[in-house]
Structure 1
């Protein structure tokens, strides 16, 4: 009897130990922080994303981006769209802008932008002005399964903080809670804050400016606090309730560094002392305040022993603002990249991107493999171990986990596409209605208004100074054909000529593609 009891205890101990071993072997779902900055240029950081440092890298102070780069992987050729809403919808749906048709920035329900209705020569298509929607049948909105909804369904606690800008006022997409977020901190339809200052109630109470006032931060009204800091504090408070209990997805989507350019007084004077004019000193202080937010989140993860199981992805939603509102000469703030926000040139679409995936990315690694914003959707799902076909939309993005693992690129000379049959407003180089493709070293741009093309070897000519259409006729034909086939395959919208009423032809219809 004693022997039988002894054997039973031994068996129980073996079973307990075996269960513990199995528990150790079952991978825990990683926490995910997606840190998105608004209007941050490729060089608005002390981290160099080129093969050399630039004067801008020495101007800005972003020690926490340096810290993240040292702990993770740097992407030197990461792309978004030239303006905000198309990027954000691509991020949340995995779709290319030509397919989802939220091709310009959203705000008013069912309404084209005034700069589009007043364009002198082009009539613009009825794009999806109402943004994205989780509900089928919403007029002028793209129906898609949002990324946070899939994460939420898989057991993630999902937190949205800051700028949303997914849908027009009064539509399902204007509230992040409708898109799969458990918590929404200060997100609504507008794409910019009326004020960054708590002392100004973040713009609340200003007559006629209600649409831009930042919602949901009443506890900070009247306080001497900057918006970036308030959003960070609220985000970390939201995580306190679940840390260590269930995986979380924090979408830290800062309003900074979008206009209005308002100085963060914690850092403003140092840039004035460095010789910057008042506007640029304010802008630089906004960048550094954003960087402090990143550092605070990283510190929080370390303090709570979460850093080893938390993935951090850092990205900007479009190129750096340069056409308006900045100090100094317009269209120069991203050099050697041409132009800036709103432009199809590299200054308008190339972004600073960093990824830390503990146990996967090699600390201090860097890659020249290019990626685009819709790639984040399948990548994050793969990181979280979520598979299946429970998505209503066609996914254009490709997972870049293989790059993070130090393996092969996503696809040899994979083509990337941009499509903007719209009008942004400000004028400048590369700003206007266009379609474009990048494949390997080459980039072809097709401008809709006058139907001219530009071809650049981006590797050799990062500033896009030498248009090679006339000397590389075969490459031009080849890329125009691939671009046109893509536009046809996704049923892309095109503007039309106001005078003739004729739809703007596809790029392959403007050149002789026969050999």
Structure 2
């Protein structure tokens, strides 16, 4: 035994002497220790070297450009993880995305970025840094609901805080966070808004003969449906109610993303010689069902389906935004973050997005919440980086305030789920500061991911004999707590087809401990809606 012990000690010394030290090796998220930067903040994996590298780079950029970086967040709608060429799609699935692929090649591609299962919850989490169960924004508003919804009432938004930090704030595109005047973008922190207050199909579905003939053919019902929302792009500035700027019908809807992009690029051009930074939140109409691509793109994609045409159009629109930054000499001091608000909508098959993962929009399986994400900042983010480190779209909140040099503005009177990922994004070999990804379906806690392991305490059922279509992730129901839970190794089983809980008994307590710590935060910081 003494010889064995001596041999092990010698081997340990030899291994320690060869190659990188333990401090230089990538941190194993499964084993990583975490710490809280404040009692109301999500625990982080601390990477001091990454933080120092990011701070040095930001100081250098500020000295060069005279102010903090511009921040552009482009949020697409219902775009699948596998739609872009940079994520294995593009030409291979009938929708080439050269502009997005170029941004990915010159920046950082995040393969484990996460949204919420659907649109309104994701948008709320980005702008508040908080889980939907904390804000009460659990699911998308239905047609007619959004018009009077209070939405972000009582929440502090990223736009408000960046405005305090000296930023000019502009919102363009889809909102879907409440249409009541007090909840409109221009009244919750944005200096100006131009966009659609609700979801794309709210403007078109009631007009489609095949879908709603009772509304189309009956004048009284048609008038009732038309009165449900402001049927068009609206525009507004602080203190007023947004007014109609461009009516939307089954013909004009084809031009919505063109109009939005034109407004965004004009805003960018107007900022050329300004001495303060800007925050542009640009949420596209596409590719939410039903898709009506611009005539320039209709039928032109190799896939020839409206969705595929729309992806090609969105790629073009992103290219226009990048070109506007370049032409106004602002690209080198602008960080661009691009993602989708959730997975593809399965119920519109065959005209839907692509994901290699299980399920789709509405589901807590990876196909519903794993989003493609690209982060680009020329000269600041090393080109060609790819990382599977965890990044939740909520992290945009704390990260943006850190980029602005005003992390001190992050609220202390409520729980903040967002994590500052500046070091992850900017350090040459930055590592994620997020150890745990949590899965929620409305106010039902479903599970967590730590490292490559995903542990579910509840399941979702998407099959229903009396529903159309029969399989509907968006209409999924929840099961009772699962005895023993479900464990998936996402590296060997990314489609989540083989639950391994009986074989992974040693790993399960690690995830259970993370889950218990997370659920404990709701005791000191009660959510706006009760947990189920």
TM-score after normalising by structure 2: 0.71
1:486–1:234 distance in 2 versus 1, CA, 3 Å: same
- The answer to whether the Cα contact below 8 Å between 1:103 and 1:421 also exists between their aligned partners in 2 is yes
Q: Does 1:230 align with 2:259?
A: yes
CA distance in 2, matches of 1:316, 1:362: 23
* Residues in 2 aligned to 1:486 and 1:37: alpha-carbon distance in whole angstroms: 29
Contact 2:134 2:529 in 1 (8 A): no
Tell me what 2:175 maps to: 164
1:316 corresponding residue in structure 2: 340
Secondary structure of the residue aligned to 2:395 is helix
**Which residue of the partner structure matches residue 400 of structure 1?**
421
Give the counterpart of 1:297 among 303, 308, 321.
Answer: 321
Contact 1:96/1:417 (CA < 8 Å) preserved in 2? no
Tell me which of 282, 285, 290 is aligned to 1:252.
282
The answer to whether the aligner puts 1:288 opposite 2:312 as a matched pair is: yes
Deviation at 1:459, TM superposition (A): 1.2
SS at match of 1:489: helix
The aligned residue for residue 157 of structure 2 is 146
Give the aligned partner of residue 101 of structure 2: 66
User: Is residue 2:360 matched to residue 1:340?
Assistant: yes
What stretches of structure 1 move > 6 A for 4+ residues in a row?
108-111, 220-224, 492-496
Shift, 1:189, TM fit: 4.7
Query: How is 1:96-175 mapped onto 2 (pairs within 5 angstroms)?
Result: 96-106=131-141, 130-133=150-153, 143-167=154-178, 169-170=179-180, 172-173=182-183, 175=184
**1:206-225 residue CA offsets vs partner (Å, 9 max, x unmatched):** 63134352332635778696
Q: How many positions carry a matched residue from both structures?
A: 417
Task: Say if 2:150 and 2:180, in contact at 8 Å, map to a contact too.
Answer: no
Whole-Å separation in 1 of the counterparts to 2:247 and 2:143: 28
| CA distance in 2 between partners of 1:451 and 1:483 (Å) | 14
**Aligned residue for 1:211?**
228
Pair 282,189 (structure 1): closer, same or farther in 2 beyond 3 Å: closer
1:44 partnered with 2:64: no
**Shift of the alpha carbon at 1:94?**
0.9
Aligned to 2:281, the other structure's residue is in SS state: strand
- CA positional deviation for 1:157: 1.4
Q: Secondary structure at the match of 1:81?
A: coil
Would the aligned equivalents of 1:76 and 1:367 in 2 still touch at CA under 8 Å?
yes
Please say if residues 308 and 358 of structure 1, whose CA atoms lie closer than 8 Å, have aligned partners that are also in contact. yes
Q: How far does residue 368 in structure 1 lie from its aligned partner after superposition?
A: 1.5
SS in 1 for 2:134: helix
Instruction: Find the partner of 1:479 among 511, 515, 518.
Output: 511
From 388, 405, 410, the equivalent of 1:385 is: 405
Is the contact between residue 163 and residue 192 of structure 1 (CA under 8 Å) also seen in structure 2? no
Would the aligned equivalents of 1:165 and 1:191 in 2 still touch at CA under 8 Å? Answer: no
1:310 & 1:477 partners in 2: Cα distance? 42
Please tell me whether residue 357 in structure 1 is matched to residue 377 in structure 2: yes
* Structure 2: unaligned runs, 5 residues or longer: 1-59, 206-218, 235-243, 459-477
Change (3 A) 1:282 1:275: closer
> Counterparts of 1:86 and 1:407 in 2: how far apart (Å)?
31
In 1, Cα distance between the equivalents of 2:127 and 2:489? 31
- Three-state SS of the structure 1 residue aligned to 2:517 is helix
* Mapped contact 1:193–1:260 kept (Cα < 8 A): no
Q: 1:188 aligns with which of 192, 197, 208?
A: 197
Following superposition, the deviation at residue 90 of structure 1 comes to 0.8
Q: Distance in 2 between matches of 1:220 and 1:293?
A: 21
Listed as ranges, the gaps of 5+ residues in structure 1 are: 1-20, 112-128, 134-142, 197-204, 423-432, 497-502, 505-515
Provide the secondary structure at the position in 2 that maps to 1:473: coil
Corresponding position of 1:417? 438
Residues 355-396 of structure 1, C-alpha deviations (whole Å, 9 max, x = no match): 112332012221121111111101111112223146243321
Q: Structure 1 434/378 Cα, relative in aligned 2: closer, same or farther at 3 Å?
A: closer
Conserved? CA contact 1:434–1:445, under 8 Å:
no
Distance 1:275 1:409 in 2: 37
CA contact under 8 A between 1:76 and 1:353: conserved in structure 2? Answer: yes
